[in-house]
């Protein structure tokens, strides 16, 4: 008999989902890419336990995750700087850790950042949907958000056991500065909008989730009357809707949108955008 | 190459297209001729240009998502010189959708269009429509080709719950809600046809370029 290795969810915290690199190729049918909001955090967690980067991890939101292991496992937590304990003992982030049979793992509320990534050697072997194990909260595709009592199967390990003890990773910044490129509809705004985007210290509103991060600050008013015919969106698109306050789209963004995109956050800073939490301040700088 | 302070001017190509960078991994192609998106989409799908990971059509634009490290200048040049395919010469598969025309907004649409319910049904079933693009929800297809007399604006107050299978009108588009969701389209009928089914390959019944004819159920 083949024994299935299982990890049990005792508490998911405010929101915990299974994520991988997402499901490219379905946007033409109305399904977005989804995937880990902070891809760098997801990839690092996998590397630390010797997984391929496309193995599924748990994405936590504001900590609060409690798990119980029903096998001997190797795990790593990256991303938001949360206190972490295994069997009651404090543990380091960004490091491969042994999680023994019957041990509880507890992720606390992060001091900085929003989302954590817990990788398990072997990856989470939940059923893929359209080629990915990611939960897409906008389109409702993929595994449901984790609930207490869920028993998550762990896959068989591939790759060699890592030899690293600890990855040197900076904590998410208190007031990050995100690098932006001009967006495809910058010409829908007058000459003041781009400098205003760059010169303002924006505050992150409560309206922040895997779809996007809504910011508050001065109004950015398009100078083109009428609406924009729906056009495709990308992660990092900084769209200015009718509220005139910018919104940074993240992994679960809609496939298309009808408001102009003034800027696009560069790929390297998308993870920092995904770590923004309500009340935090953020600035932009040109690429 | 685009600097942070200079204003990018979109590149124009011979087939009435403007190509704009969209982040490091994207090119947005605006198609300036009416109804030209599907012709470009078909050409891009057939050409499979090196470095292009995904082609996503929308109302007047097509997004190319590039593989990291792809040479976007080269891809833009290739897209700029790619002739569109004429969708009429290779018409997509025809999908028939039987509809029960008893939607909650049918009377409002009759007032707005100054048409009788019979005339609305005759116009809605009277011609082949085309899937222009998908969005809003998995399998939601924006259909083009709606007669001008049947074009109405969205409802002033969107509904918080529109049942799956509802058939709606908004501007020059018509479409079917694949699942229950919020929505602001004017609902004129309903269908039992399943628009989205993950057990089906592909899961969406309606894909860009396919032809659709509504019939009376």
Residue B102 has, within 13 A of its CA and on its CB side, a CA count of: 3
Q: Which of residues 104-143 of B touch A (CB under 8 A)?
A: 133-142
From B64, which residue of chain A is nearest by alpha-carbon distance?
Answer: A232
pLDDT digits (tens, 9 = 90+) for A105-136: 999 999 999 999 999 999 999 999 999 999 99
Contact B186, B172 (CB under 8 A): no
Q: How far is B171 from chain A (nearest CA, A)?
A: 11
Q: For chain A, what is the domain count?
A: 2
- Six-digit token pair at A217? 């600050």
For residue A44, what is the enclosing H or E element?
Answer: helix A39-48
Q: What's the pLDDT tens digit per position in B123-134? A: 999 999 999 999
Residues A20 and A127 placed together within one structural domain of the fold: yes
Would residue A171 count as lying in a domain? no
pLDDT digits (tens, 9 = 90+) for B67-103: 989 999 999 999 999 999 887 767 778 999 999 999 9
What tens digit of pLDDT does each residue of A9-24 get?
999 999 999 999 999 9
**C-beta separation of B99 from B167 below 8 A:** yes
Q: Looking at domain B11-80, does it have CATH number 3.20.20.70?
A: no
Nearest Cα to A65, choosing from A117, A113, A100?
A117
Q: Which of A25, A229, A231 sits opposite B28 (nearest CB)?
A: A231
CATH number at A186 reads: 2.40.100.10
Which are the contacts of A54, defined by CB distance < 8 A and separation ≥ 6? A20, A21, A46
Domain stop point among A123, A154, A185:
A154
Q: Which residues contact A206 (CB under 8 A, 6 or more apart)?
A: A278
Whether A199 maps to a domain, the answer reads yes
Chain region(s) in chain B for CATH 3.30.1360.40:
11-80
DSSP H or E segment with residue A114: strand A112-120
Assess if residue A124 is contained within a domain: yes
Number of Cβ within a 10 Å radius of residue B85: 19
Q: What is the pLDDT of residue B91?
A: 72
Q: Which residues contact A187 (CB under 8 A, 6 or more apart)?
A: B7
- H/E stretch holding A153 reads strand A151-154
The CATH number for B94-216, chosen from 2.70.98.10, 3.40.50.720, 2.40.100.10, 2.170.190.11, is 2.40.100.10
Distance CA A246, CA A177 (A): 15
Burial (CB < 10 A; 0-12, 13-18, 19+), residue B215, is exposed
Same domain (yes/no): A150, A13: yes
In this structure, the answer to whether residues A143 and A205 fall within a common structural domain is no
Q: What is the pTM of this model?
A: 0.93
B-chain residues near A237 (CB < 8 A) = 22-23
Q: How far is CA A99 from CA A6, A91, A106, A202, A241, in A?
A: 12, 11, 11, 40, 46
Looking at the fold, whether A21 and A150 belong to one and the same domain comes out as yes
A237-239 vs A247-249, strand pairing mode: antiparallel
pLDDT in tens, A201-233: 999 999 999 999 999 999 998 888 777 899 999
How many Cα atoms are found within 13 Å in the side-chain-facing hemisphere of A61? Answer: 18
Minimal CA separation from B93 to chain A, in Å: 16
**Angle at alpha carbon of residue A180, lines to A175 and A186, rounded to 5°:** 130
Residues A131 and A26 in one domain: yes
Give residue-wise pLDDT tens across range A161-209.
777 788 888 889 999 999 999 999 999 999 999 999 999 999 999 999 9
- In a domain? residue A255: yes
Cβ(B205)–Cβ(B95) below 8 Å = yes
Token pair of B119 as six digits: 């005339």
The verdict on A72 and A187 lying in the same domain is no
Q: Are residues A182 and A277 in the same domain?
A: yes
Do residues A185 and A45 share a domain? no
Q: Is there a single domain that holds both residue A221 and residue A271?
A: yes
Q: Are residue A141 and residue A42 in the same domain, yes or no? A: yes
Q: Does B60 touch chain A (CB under 8 A)?
A: yes
- Nearest Cα residue to A219 out of A200, A204, A233: A200
Q: Within this chain, do residues A129 and A258 fall inside the same structural domain, yes or no?
A: no
Residue limits of CATH 2.40.100.10 in chain B: 94-216
> What are the C-alpha distances in Å from A227 to residues A132, A222, B64, B168?
34, 10, 23, 20
For residues A189 and A239, membership in a common domain is answered with yes
CA distances (Å), B213 to each of A168, A202, A243, B7, in order? Answer: 60, 49, 39, 45
Residue window 4-23, chain A: list those with CB within 8 Å of chain B: none
C-alpha B177/C-alpha B183 separation (Å) is: 9
Distance between CA atoms of residues B81 and B44, nearest Å:
11
Range of the domain at A206: 177-286
pLDDT of B4 over the 50 cut: no
Q: How far is CA B95 from CA A146, A214, B207, B211, in A?
A: 38, 40, 10, 6
Does A196 fall in a domain? Answer: yes
């Amino acid at each position: 008999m083949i024994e299935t290795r299982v990890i049990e969810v005792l508490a998911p915290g405010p929101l915990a989902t299974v994520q991988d690199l997402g499901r490219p190729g379905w946007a033409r049918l109305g399904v977005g890419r989804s995937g880990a909001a902070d891809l760098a955090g997801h990839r690092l967690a996998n590397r630390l336990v010797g997984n391929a980067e496309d193995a599924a991890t748990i994405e936590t939101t504001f900590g609060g995750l409690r798990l119980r292991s029903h096998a001997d496992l190797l795990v790593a937590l990256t991303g938001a700087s949360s206190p972490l304990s295994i069997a009651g003992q404090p543990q380091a982030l960004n490091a491969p850790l042994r999680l023994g049979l019957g041990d509880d793992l507890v992720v606390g509320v992060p001091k900085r950042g929003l989302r954590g990534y817990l990788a398990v050697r072997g990856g989470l072997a939940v059923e893929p949907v359209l080629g990915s194990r990611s939960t897409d909260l906008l389109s409702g595709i993929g595994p449901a958000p984790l609930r207490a009592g869920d028993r998550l199967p762990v896959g068989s390990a591939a790759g060699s056991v890592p030899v690293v003890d600890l990855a040197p990773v900076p904590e998410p910044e208190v007031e990050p500065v995100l690098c932006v490129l001009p967006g495809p509809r910058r010409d829908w705004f007058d000459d003041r909008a781009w400098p205003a985007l760059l010169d303002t210290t924006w505050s992150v509103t409560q309206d922040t989730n895997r779809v996007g991060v809504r910011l508050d600050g001065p109004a950015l008013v398009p100078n083109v009357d009428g609406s924009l015919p729906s056009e495709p969106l990308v992660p990092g698109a900084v769209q200015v809707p009718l509220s005139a306050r910018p919104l940074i789209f993240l992994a679960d963004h809609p496939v298309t949108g009808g408001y102009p995109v003034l800027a696009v956050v560069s790929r390297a800073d998308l993870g920092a955008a995904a770590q923004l939490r309500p009340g935090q301040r953020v600035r932009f700088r040109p690429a | 190459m685009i600097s942070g302070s200079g204003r990018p001017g979109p590149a124009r190509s011979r087939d009435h297209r403007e190509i704009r960078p969209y982040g490091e991994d994207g090119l947005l192609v605006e198609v300036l001729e009416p109804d030209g998106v599907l012709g470009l989409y078909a050409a891009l799908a057939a050409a499979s240009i090196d470095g292009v990971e995904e082609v996503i059509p929308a109302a007047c634009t097509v997004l190319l998502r590039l593989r990291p490290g792809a040479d976007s200048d080269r891809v833009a040049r290739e897209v700029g010189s790619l002739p569109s395919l004429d969708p009429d010469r290779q018409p997509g598969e025809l999908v028939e959708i039987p509809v029960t025309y008893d939607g909650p907004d049918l009377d409002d649409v009759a007032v707005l269009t100054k048409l009788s319910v019979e005339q609305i049904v005759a116009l809605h079933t009277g011609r082949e429509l085309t899937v222009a693009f998908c969005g809003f929800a998995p399998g939601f297809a924006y259909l083009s080709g709606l007669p001008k007399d049947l074009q109405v604006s969205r409802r002033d107050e969107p509904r918080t719950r529109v049942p799956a299978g509802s058939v709606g009108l908004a501007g020059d588009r018509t479409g079917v809600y694949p699942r229950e969701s919020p929505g602001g389209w004017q609902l004129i009928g309903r269908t039992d046809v399943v628009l989205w089914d993950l057990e089906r390959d592909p899961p969406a019944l309606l894909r860009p370029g396919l032809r659709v004819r509504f019939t009376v159920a």
